[in-house]
């Protein structure tokens, strides 16, 4: 019996079986590949969800908009500079102390220390000599300030 060939009802049985096994391996590889892609996408989604995004709250903002960390628009710099100048350079003997106190909040610590060192003398000089200052910003002022 061992010397007789194996006969099947269909002559393509072994070819079909081999093709089915190859397709099963291909489909298994595809499923494993898709599972790996899903794991990578899941890890990426978790990393994006866990990483905190900076939230900027701008008090007294006139409207909603976008803010980006480490990027300051020139309009903000001009607005801050004009507010600073209007506050710092408009004083009278009665308002000088209040103006200096409002300005100290916006100063960097080294500059604040230098201003505080001479602040008492300046306030006494303003009160004694009745000094006042008024600054008005004009359009010819801005090109020089921005450059």
47-70 pLDDT per residue, tens: 988 987 776 666 666 676 666 677
pLDDT at position 92 is 81
- Whether the full predicted model's pTM is greater than 0.75, yes or no, is no
Per the CB < 8 A criterion, the answer to whether 135 and 83 are in contact is no
Give the tokens for residue 91.
């004083």
Q: Is 126 exposed, middle or buried (0-12, 13-18, 19+ CB in 10 A)?
A: buried
Provide the sign of the torsion angle of the four alpha carbons 53, 57, 62, 67, taken in this order: negative
Instruction: Calculate ∠ Cα 137-139-141, nearest 5°.
Output: 65
> Low-confidence residues of the chain, pLDDT below 50?
143, 145-147
pLDDT at position 10 is 63
pLDDT at position 147 is 41
pLDDT at position 31 is 95
pLDDT at position 39 is 97
């Amino acid at each position: 019996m061992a010397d007789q060939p194996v006969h099947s009802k269909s002559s393509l049985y072994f070819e079909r079986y081999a093709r089915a096994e190859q397709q099963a391996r291909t489909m298994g590889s595809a499923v494993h590949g898709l599972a790996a892609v899903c794991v990578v996408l899941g890890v990426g989604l978790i990393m994006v969800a866990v990483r905190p995004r900076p939230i900027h709250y701008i008090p007294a903002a006139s409207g909603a908009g976008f803010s980006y960390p480490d990027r300051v628009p020139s309009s903000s710099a001009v607005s801050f500079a004009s507010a600073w100048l209007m506050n710092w350079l408009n004083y009278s003997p009665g308002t000088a102390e209040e103006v200096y106190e409002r300005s100290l909040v916006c100063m960097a610590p080294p500059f604040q220390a230098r201003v505080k060192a001479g602040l008492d003398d300046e306030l006494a000089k303003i009160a004694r000599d009745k000094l006042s200052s008024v600054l008005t910003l004009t359009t010819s002022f801005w090109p020089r300030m921005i450059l």
